[in-house]
Amino acid sequence: MLSREEMIFSEIKSNPGIRFRELMKHLGITNGVMSYYLRKLEQKESVWIERTPRVTRFYSSDLSEEEAKLVKRLRQETPKKILVALIENDQLTFQELVAKIHKSPSTTSFYLTQLVQENIIATSKSDFVKVYFNVEKKRIANLIEEYHPDIIEQASDNLSDIISSL
């Protein structure tokens, strides 16, 4: 039987970028007890914590900041849809992305801007039209396979073929 500390660490390791409340809910551990064990894990440097004004996320210390950035985006619905669309298609225009992910142009633009600023995706001009593409297609595909295999099951049939061919 795993100790609480081991259970918490295991949950963080298998769900990098998990939020505090998600962690409490998954494990059925109260706020105070969870805080105590997370502090212990952080002091041991088993986990590292990303604190932003509204969200705190937890990662195992063996995950690099670059991978954490990608995993964090894969946990968010719209960025995940954008990244999967760009894995399935080498490059897409803005209008093609809007159509593929079924989000409003403003929502799509908001997340595209973030993904470009974080160097997760890039843009180029093709026949005077701006196109978007994944900068690290293979790394993103590997992270999807490792931490979010559910994406492969939910996405189109050819996504698993694309990922396995990279």
> Where are the chain's structural domains?
4-63, 69-165
The 8 Å CB, 24+ separation contacts for 125-131 are 126/91, 129/93, 130/93, 130/94, 131/91, 131/92, 131/93
Q: How far is CA 99 from each of CA 53, 96, 154, rounded to the nearest angstrom?
A: 32, 5, 18
pLDDT at residue number 106: 96
pLDDT at residue number 163: 47
Judge if 4-63 and 69-165 fold alike in CATH terms. Answer: yes
pLDDT tens-digit map of 32-49 = 999 999 999 999 999 999
120: left (phi over 0), alpha (psi -120 to 50) or beta: alpha
Domain 69-165: CATH architecture, name and number where available: Orthogonal Bundle (1.10)
pLDDT at residue number 2: 83
**Which ranges of the chain have pLDDT less than 50?**
152, 156-157, 159, 161-163, 166
Q: Among 1.20.1250.20, 3.40.50.300, 1.10.443.10, 1.10.10.10, what is the CATH number of 4-63?
A: 1.10.10.10
Instruction: Please give the structure tokens belonging to residue 51.
Output: 């604190």
Sheet with 121-126: list strands edge to edge.
Answer: 92-93, 129-134, 121-126
pLDDT at residue number 162: 47
